[in-house]
């Protein structure tokens, strides 16, 4: 088991911030935590890394209790940039992690090159831009080649090219077998990274996957809607009536060539086919309309 969280509850000043989180991750996945501010995303990540206590529940990461410091040999946590020491250089930060985790120092150069931060690696962090700091935080969290990477808002303050770099690095890590759990408000980037999204609302995980929603959907306009519906019922094909002569289907329920063949056989004329995909943003709007 990569992540096992059972009934996690966290109370803060008489208010329940987490109200019973259950998460089980068995295979390497990229998981996005999405939710409005105050929904408990960072709290969940901080609880998982033992930076915060909690009231009830159990957390196991990679089969070990989350309070065991040795988990950090295989678990990395990318936090916000307040953890950086302004007086030290990026190199100092990476060297420290290499030292305490017994990683060869030549990894520093490799990681810096991969992320594209060699030019400012030896500058003091207080002179870094927000994007540079995010790069450094990423480098610090992947230098130990973790099996589990937890990330709190890794895409904040990034210009498009940095976002692409970080996305590519994360996808590469994922292909190498790393499980990544990240919180973010950047829903477009999330769509590009994963279709496993945990929508968090008021301390609960509302929905665990967008896999179904990510199926392609079709809106078909025909010349005889009633006849078309009769044919679909005969063949037990699920559909949704939109308006006169207009029906919608989910790709997993209906293969388009098969549909066209049936309609042609029964002399129903297809006038138009339109396709669309539901994304994180659309689902977010549906779930959290008016929340923020």
Partner 1 sequence: MLKIWLFEMKKITKSLFIFIMLVLLIFIILGYFVFVYVNTVRTDDIIMEIKDRVYLQEQHLEDLNQLDNQEEGQNNTGLKEEIDFQKEYLSKEKDMVEAYRQKDWSTILAKEIKDDEDAGIHSTNKIISYSTFPTAFTTETRYQKNKWLRDRGIPPVLPIGTSSWTTMYDVDFGDKRAEAFVKNQSTKYSSTGINFLSHVFKQLFHYVAPIFFVLLFGNMLTKEGIGKNGPIQLLQTQPIRLYQLLISKLAATMTITILILLCVSIFSVLMGTIFDRFGNLDYPVLIYETERSYHFITMGVFLLKVFIISMMVLLFCYSLLFFFSVITRHTLSAVGLTILVIFITHQWNEGFAESLIFSFTPFSYFSVTKVVTNELAVTLNNEYFTYPTGLIILGSYSIIFFLASYFILLKRSNAKK
Question: For residue 248, which phi and psi values (nearest 5 degrees)?
Answer: -125, 150
Query: What secondary structure does DSSP assign to 253-288, as a single string?
Result: T--HHHHHHHHHHTTPPEEEEEEEE--HHHHHHHHH
Query: Is residue 58 a contact residue for partner 1 (CB under 8 A)?
Result: yes
Query: Is residue 88 a contact residue for partner 1 (CB under 8 A)?
Result: yes
Query: Is residue 107 a contact residue for partner 1 (CB under 8 A)?
Result: no
Nearest CB to partner 1, comparing residues 61 and 222: 61
The number of beta carbons lying within 10 Å of the beta carbon of residue 39 is 25
Query: Is residue 77 a contact residue for partner 1 (CB under 8 A)?
Result: yes
Kindly determine how many residues on this chain lie close enough to bind partner 1 according to the rule CB under 8 A: 34
Beta-bridged to residue 180, according to DSSP, are: 30, 149
Query: Is residue 85 a contact residue for partner 1 (CB under 8 A)?
Result: yes
- In the shown chain, the binding pattern of residues 167 to 206 toward partner 1, with x for contact by CB under 8 A and - for none, equals ----------------------------------------
| 3-class SS of residue 124 | strand
Q: Largest alpha-carbon pair distance within the chain?
A: 76
Beta-bridged to residue 162, according to DSSP, are: none
Which residue in the set 7, 24, 99, 274 belongs to the binding site for partner 1 (CB under 8 A)? Answer: 99
Which residue in the set 27, 87, 106, 243 belongs to the binding site for partner 1 (CB under 8 A)? Answer: 87
Query: Is residue 72 a contact residue for partner 1 (CB under 8 A)?
Result: yes
| 3-class SS of residue 60 | strand
Nearest CB to partner 1, comparing residues 72 and 288: 72
- 151 contacts: CB under 8 Å, gap ≥ 6: 77, 78, 141, 180, 181, 182, 183
CB of 84 to partner 1, least distance (A): 7
Query: Is residue 120 a contact residue for partner 1 (CB under 8 A)?
Result: no
Query: Is residue 49 a contact residue for partner 1 (CB under 8 A)?
Result: yes
| 3-class SS of residue 155 | coil
Q: Alpha-carbon distance 218 to 275, whole Å?
A: 4
Beta strand spans in 3-67 (E):
3-12, 15-25, 30-34, 56-61, 64-65
> Strand 30-34 and strand 3-12: pairing?
unpaired
Terminal Cα distance for the chain, rounded:
34
- In the shown chain, the binding pattern of residues 215 to 244 toward partner 1, with x for contact by CB under 8 A and - for none, equals ------------------------------
- In the shown chain, the binding pattern of residues 18 to 47 toward partner 1, with x for contact by CB under 8 A and - for none, equals -----------------------------x
Which residue in the set 12, 19, 38, 92 belongs to the binding site for partner 1 (CB under 8 A)? Answer: 92
**Helices 256-265 and 225-234: crossing angle, nearest 10°?**
110
Instruction: Point out which span in 67-75, 189-197, 234-242, 256-264 binds partner 1 (CB under 8 A).
Output: 67-75
Which residue in the set 27, 37, 63, 70 belongs to the binding site for partner 1 (CB under 8 A)? Answer: 70
Query: Is residue 286 a contact residue for partner 1 (CB under 8 A)?
Result: no
Write out the residues near partner 1 by the rule CB under 8 A: 47, 49-54, 57-59, 67, 69-73, 76-77, 79, 82-85, 87-88, 92-93, 96-97, 99-101, 124, 140
């Amino acid at each position: 088991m990569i992540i096992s969280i059972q009934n996690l509850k966290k109370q803060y000043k008489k208010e329940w911030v987490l109200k019973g989180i259950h998460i089980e991750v068995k295979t390497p996945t990229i998981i996005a935590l999405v939710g409005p501010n105050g929904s408990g995303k960072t709290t969940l990540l901080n609880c998982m890394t033992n930076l915060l206590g909690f009231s009830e529940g159990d957390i196991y990461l990679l089969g070990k209790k989350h309070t065991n410091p040795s988990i950090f040999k295989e678990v990395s946590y990318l936090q916000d940039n307040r953890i950086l020491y302004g007086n030290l250089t990026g190199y100092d930060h990476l060297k420290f992690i290499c030292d305490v985790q017994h990683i060869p120092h030549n990894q520093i150069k490799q990681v810096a090159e991969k992320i594209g931060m060699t030019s400012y690696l030896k500058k003091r962090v207080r002179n870094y831009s927000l994007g540079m700091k995010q790069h450094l935080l990423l480098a610090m969290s992947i230098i130990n080649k973790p099996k589990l990477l937890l990330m709190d808002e890794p895409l904040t303050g990034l210009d498009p090219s940095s976002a692409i770099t970080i996305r590519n690095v994360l996808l590469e890590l994922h292909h190498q077998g790393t499980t990544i759990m990240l919180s973010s408000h950047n829903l477009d980037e999330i769509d590009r990274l994963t279709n496993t999204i945990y929508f968090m609302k008021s301390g609960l995980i509302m929905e665990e996957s967008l896999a179904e929603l990510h199926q392609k959907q079709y809106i078909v306009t025909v010349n005889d809607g009633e006849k078309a519906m009769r044919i679909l019922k005969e063949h037990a094909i699920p559909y949704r009536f939109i308006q006169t002569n207009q029906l919608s289907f989910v790709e997993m329920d209906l293969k388009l060539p098969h549909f066209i063949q049936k309609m042609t056989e029964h002399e129903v004329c297809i006038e138009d086919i339109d396709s669309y995909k539901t994304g994180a943003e659309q689902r977010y709007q549906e779930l959290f309309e008016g929340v923020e």
